[in-house]
Structure 1
Amino acid sequence: MKISSPYQLRTLPAGLLLLLPLLLSESQNVVYAVPQTVAIEIPVPAKDALLRPLDKNLVSWSIQNRDLPIFARSKLLENLFKALSTNIATGQSVRLGGGESDKTTYGSDITITAKKFQSGYYGAQAQGNVTLGPNYFASFKEKYAPDTRYIWCLNLINTTNKFEAAISTAAGVLEYLGDELDLFEIGNEADFYGSKGYRDSEWDASMMLPEWNYIADEVIKNSPNKTVRFMAGGFANPAFQVTKDFDIPGIISAGFQSSRITWYSMHIYPQSGCSGAVTIAPLLEHNTISETLSNYIPQVAAAESVGAQFTIGETNTVSCVGRPGISDTFAAALWLVDYVLFAATIGIRRLYFHATTTGSYSPVIPIKYTLNSENYTAGVLPLSYGAYFVSEILSFNDTLLVTQIEGGNDTDYSSYSIWDENNKLRKIVFINLESYNSSTGGTNTAVPDTEVYSSKEARPSTQVTVATPWEAGQELSLIRLQGPGSNSKSMVNVSGFTLSEKDGLVTSNLVDTIIKVQENGDVVFDLLASEAVLIQYYSDVLANKHPTKSGSKAANSTVSGVVMRTRGANMSISPRLVLSVRLAVSCVLLSALLLFV
């Protein structure tokens, strides 16, 4: 639905306390407006309704194998992984793949030190090779959150000595990653091999099959327990632009079907940064997301027809390391939430977001670097907060199922209902993709500056009323993915939750706004332009672990009738903290209200 109507002024709601730093910075220029009320009903789904399961690793990561040691030089990625994994109660899934995969060789006698790998040494650059040895694995092992799992992409381009590069690399991976390895891929974006001259111009899936099978057979033969599993596909062209038979139905027909292939994948970037113009607008259009991803429904069906799962094995906002002013903005965080949830509704189990050490589409920048004679710092980018918000959606002890809310999706607005296996509504997600730009948070020292601009009109807000099957009086938690504006590069948070720009540790704990289900089952809340909201049982929040600032305690406060509960390492509410937090919040609220006098 398009959110638009005549504006109506209103006073600052207590629910916006978490945006007070933004209010203080924008001073009296901030005026909020209320469009027409939106009303949506969420009926209990029929028992035969198709609700898709939410994979705990719905948001996953794709990193060039050469880059992981450099990420390991700082704690930023490790601590982001820990925060995400605490919520989802399982380790992160990392695909070590990309263009460098088909340039990689391995030797057990290579003596390059772990520290040198972390320094950015990639081997014989003149020949375009990435040369790995045992210390490569030592450079990053045990430096990430517990239970991190890996997918390794093997070199299919190099045919020398019967694919020795791929087979020797697999042996090293099996020896040093061991049980941390989930899957092997063979070849990266092999649908381009013919056009790029790596294979004959007639190259197709039937020609690829014997090479792929030979490598897979040798890898299994050399593995300790013979239980190696594979992900097939990994094609560059999107589902609506397939060349020859390089998609999932095509390779299955060509013979890529066996018990050792448990996943199939394709790659997609909504916009190409390698050439041509790109804009921020497509990130804020739900219809664009749904139309693009709906092309993958036949790919999902093909994978499931042979008992496997389908994933987007490499993706992000803009290809070729992203684009400043687009990939490093709050719009990218909002896009990620809508993108992965819609993908899940059509059966895409995981999406692997590609990252490089200095790319503007990365969740964090792990090192200081120089670009075009300008110096940049390490830091956290907004995409991290989109991923964190999704981890809050996924936090639950049992299986969750997702579907779109009928009538709650249009160009600049989307919504999802989350259910358990007993058809009980557990969570509601609303995403307002309506663009709102702000000069606040317009820069981030980790990425290049781009044009800073603000919307001329007031920031729109809508009051949403949702008819639910929930019992009246039930306590609910409401949290927000929020920022100054869709174009902001900093000051992004999830209801106050933030990560340190230095090491990724929690610097500010999340604050749940407590609301209650009304007598008729309605749930009512405000939703700003360029903002996402998650609503769930507060009892479920208490039942799950969440990342918090070290040594912190939970706190409770009530301001203007709105209950705010700050999470802490100890989730029991401290009476002493209740008073101190109530006084502190009241003082800040009074200061903010003075801005409007």
Structure 2
Amino acid sequence: MSIMFPMKGQIVFLLLLEFVWSATVTYTIPASAPTTATALDPAPLGISFEFFAFPSYFLNVTGTNQCLKNLKELTGTWPPIRIGGTTQDRATYDASSSAYVTYSVASPLDAPASLTFGPKFMDLASTYLGTVVMGLNRGHDDIANTIAAAKVASDKMSNLLAIELGNEPEYYTSDKQPIALNAGTWTPATDAESQDDWDIRVGSALHRNLIIQAGNSNDSPPKWGAVELIATENSTAKSYVHDYAHHNYPGGTLTTLMSHSNIVSNLAIFEPEVAAVSDEGKEYVLGETNSVSGGGAATVSPLFGAAVWTMDYMLRAAVLGIKRVYYHHGTVGKCFYCFWGRYSMGAPYYGAYAATAAMAGGSSIVSLDEGSTNYGGYIVSDRDGTPMRVLLLNSDFYGGGGSRGSQTFVLSGLTGGKSSAKRLSAPSANSRVDQGGNPSFGGQMFANGTCEVRGEEVWEMVDVVDGNGTFVVGASEALLVYLK
């Protein structure tokens, strides 16, 4: 691929001279959003922080506020955050503690087996300018302690969206959590009974309806899913539920992870869940997700191919009616899938930024393809139904070296004489920021450590002839086309 690099502030044409060409894909852009388009949340892409690590992300990691602010500047809304994970079910609230969190570990890269947290934890969470989902302990089977923490969160946090009562309860038996041991037999049915009881008791203690983020399991639905849980709830339990959440870590190799057709197949399992929750008049979210569980895999999660996955996965989830997607961030310094940390940026942040740019200010989204190939597209429309942007993606794997394949897309139904676009790209799908492989979006990068935007925007201009525009997207790349 030969690129003409711009002078400062210049709008340029990129010369695509060395691609291996594939058959053209043609999409027709409708004059207005179809009735099948899905409504978008103002800020669909969110961040999940592991419970014990949350204070460190906001107090010790320089890039956190700027990375979140970058996304806010696109949408006008601060990204939603969720605080939770495995360590929320290891955490005990201590009203007398003056510390955010207290724990002891053999190595700073270890997650604590137990910890306490005090009121300052909620004070810190209350300073965030976006919404917060707060995860609290159900595994210890100490509802009095959890209610005490929930009351402080409710009183201090005007930004509190919901409270989670426990994280991934299907693992309570293997984790030897008291609530499962006390129950004798721990199944989806006994967990649902427990959740319903806790939802009512916590909600009533707070005197707040619509305050619980229910579910929070990781097993593949329908087992441990929202459909099962809803079937056990009476009207009282439902009155306290704000939304239903599930977790998801697709895993696999980099090639299988970023495959567009695999993303569509992976997320399809949530369609019955979304439908059931919608019937209840509630929202469905992915409360915790990322590429590979357990902090990610070195050969997958920090690479640019995972950025392509992050972007495509987010938009496909939105098409299915999943309102918000919280990408998990684990132990600081030991987190391959994290978008940022102490020093180097994570390549997946570029995919998150591109996805946010695609959806920013949009009212609805629709997929242009059926998800049967490595190529896809999405249309985001404004509140009047007018298409605003089209995102085109090529998830063919390019590992570097040799000719980089490409896919030609023709968009018909365009207006005006030219269309402008920004490209999400990197030297290869294997590019890793801390190894010198910086991605870019519209020619811009994010500074290591600070997450500040660097470089001038590069806009690609494409002629529109008789309503048709031709766009070339390299293997392991995406192109965001602006229609207005």
State the TM-score, normalizing by the size of structure 1. Answer: 0.72
**Counterpart position of 1:83:** 70
Report the Cα distance in structure 2 between the residues aligned to 1:504 and 1:101, rounded to whole angstroms. 28
Report the Cα distance in structure 2 between the residues aligned to 1:41 and 1:430, rounded to whole angstroms. 10
Per-residue deviation, residues 161-202 of structure 1 (Å, max 9, x unmatched): xx12211221222233x2111101111111233454431453
**Counterpart position of 1:254:** 232
**Which one-letter code corresponds to 1:525 in the other structure?**
F
**Counterpart position of 1:3:** none
**Counterpart position of 1:54:** 40
Report the Cα distance in structure 1 between the residues aligned to 2:124 and 2:379, rounded to whole angstroms. 42
**Within 5 A, what are the aligned runs for 1:36-435?**
36=22, 38-44=24-30, 49-72=35-58, 73-112=60-99, 117=101, 121-122=102-103, 128-138=113-123, 142=127, 147-160=129-142, 163-176=143-156, 178-198=157-177, 199=180, 200=183, 202-223=185-206, 226-227=208-209, 229-239=211-221, 242=223, 246-255=224-233, 258-271=238-251, 278-356=252-330, 357-358=332-333, 359-366=335-342, 378-396=343-361, 399-406=362-369, 409-435=371-397
SS at the partner of 1:66?
helix
Report the Cα distance in structure 2 between the residues aligned to 1:353 and 1:302, rounded to whole angstroms. 23
Residues 429 and 201 of structure 1: CA distance in aligned 2, closer, same or farther (over 3 Å): farther
Larger radius of gyration: 1
**Counterpart position of 1:375:** none
**Counterpart position of 2:410:** 465
1:481 Cα deviation after fit: 0.8
Residues 255 and 206 of structure 1: CA distance in aligned 2, closer, same or farther (over 3 Å): farther
1:382 Cα deviation after fit: 0.5
**Which one-letter code corresponds to 1:364 in the other structure?**
W
1:55 Cα deviation after fit: 2.1
Residues 506 and 170 of structure 1: CA distance in aligned 2, closer, same or farther (over 3 Å): same
1:496 Cα deviation after fit: 1.8
Count, aligned residues: 459
Report the Cα distance in structure 2 between the residues aligned to 1:47 and 1:481, rounded to whole angstroms. 25
Do the aligned residues in 2 keep the contact of 1:336 with 1:383 (CA within 8 Å)? yes
Residues 48 and 509 of structure 1: CA distance in aligned 2, closer, same or farther (over 3 Å): closer
Residues 220 and 415 of structure 1: CA distance in aligned 2, closer, same or farther (over 3 Å): same
Report the Cα distance in structure 2 between the residues aligned to 1:269 and 1:109, rounded to whole angstroms. 37
Per-residue deviation, residues 266-286 of structure 1 (Å, max 9, x unmatched): 111112xxxxxx421212311
1:487 Cα deviation after fit: 0.3
1:37 Cα deviation after fit: 5.3
Matched, 1:483 2:436: no
Residues 393 and 167 of structure 1: CA distance in aligned 2, closer, same or farther (over 3 Å): same
1:464 Cα deviation after fit: 2.6
1:39 Cα deviation after fit: 4.0
Report the Cα distance in structure 2 between the residues aligned to 1:268 and 1:159, rounded to whole angstroms. 25
Residues 139 and 128 of structure 1: CA distance in aligned 2, closer, same or farther (over 3 Å): same
Do the aligned residues in 2 keep the contact of 1:124 with 1:130 (CA within 8 Å)? no
Report the Cα distance in structure 2 between the residues aligned to 1:64 and 1:320, rounded to whole angstroms. 11
Report the Cα distance in structure 1 between the residues aligned to 2:445 and 2:283, rounded to whole angstroms. 34
Per-residue deviation, residues 358-381 of structure 1 (Å, max 9, x unmatched): 200000112xxxxxxxxxxx2211
Report the Cα distance in structure 1 between the residues aligned to 2:288 and 2:376, rounded to whole angstroms. 24
1:411 Cα deviation after fit: 3.1
Per-residue deviation, residues 238-297 of structure 1 (Å, max 9, x unmatched): 226x2xxx21111111116523212111111112xxxxxx42121231111111111111
Do the aligned residues in 2 keep the contact of 1:166 with 1:215 (CA within 8 Å)? no
**Counterpart position of 1:525:** 471
**Which one-letter code corresponds to 1:94 in the other structure?**
I
Report the Cα distance in structure 1 between the residues aligned to 2:232 and 2:200, rounded to whole angstroms. 18
**Which one-letter code corresponds to 2:97 in the other structure?**
I
SS at the partner of 1:526?
strand
Matched, 1:499 2:446: yes
1:513 Cα deviation after fit: 2.5
SS at the partner of 1:250?
helix
Per-residue deviation, residues 509-549 of structure 1 (Å, max 9, x unmatched): 4332333432x111122211111000113xx5xxxxxxxxx
**Which one-letter code corresponds to 1:181 in the other structure?**
L
Report the Cα distance in structure 2 between the residues aligned to 1:13 and 1:498, rounded to whole angstroms. 17
Q: Which moved more, 1:257-266 or 1:357-366?
A: 257-266
Report the Cα distance in structure 1 between the residues aligned to 2:125 and 2:365, rounded to whole angstroms. 35
1:123 Cα deviation after fit: 5.9
**Which one-letter code corresponds to 2:214 in the other structure?**
A
Which 5+ residue runs of structure 2 have no aligned equivalent?
A: 8-15
SS at the partner of 1:459?
coil
Residues 138 and 309 of structure 1: CA distance in aligned 2, closer, same or farther (over 3 Å): closer
Per-residue deviation, residues 523-580 of structure 1 (Å, max 9, x unmatched): 122211111000113xx5xxxxxxxxxxxxxxxxxxxxxxxxxxxxxxxxxxxxxxxx
Residues 79 and 46 of structure 1: CA distance in aligned 2, closer, same or farther (over 3 Å): closer
Report the Cα distance in structure 2 between the residues aligned to 1:527 and 1:201, rounded to whole angstroms. 56
Do the aligned residues in 2 keep the contact of 1:498 with 1:509 (CA within 8 Å)? no
**Which one-letter code corresponds to 2:366 in the other structure?**
T
SS at the partner of 1:354?
strand
Residues 296 and 413 of structure 1: CA distance in aligned 2, closer, same or farther (over 3 Å): same
Do the aligned residues in 1 keep the contact of 2:43 with 2:80 (CA within 8 Å)? yes
Report the Cα distance in structure 2 between the residues aligned to 1:46 and 1:509, rounded to whole angstroms. 32
Residues 41 and 165 of structure 1: CA distance in aligned 2, closer, same or farther (over 3 Å): same
**Which one-letter code corresponds to 1:426 in the other structure?**
M
**Which one-letter code corresponds to 1:496 in the other structure?**
G
Do the aligned residues in 1 keep the contact of 2:307 with 2:348 (CA within 8 Å)? yes
Residues 153 and 536 of structure 1: CA distance in aligned 2, closer, same or farther (over 3 Å): same
**Counterpart position of 1:547:** none
RMSD: 2.7
Residues 344 and 296 of structure 1: CA distance in aligned 2, closer, same or farther (over 3 Å): same
Do the aligned residues in 2 keep the contact of 1:231 with 1:265 (CA within 8 Å)? yes
Residues 204 and 140 of structure 1: CA distance in aligned 2, closer, same or farther (over 3 Å): closer
1:209 Cα deviation after fit: 4.5
State the TM-score, normalizing by the size of structure 2. Answer: 0.87
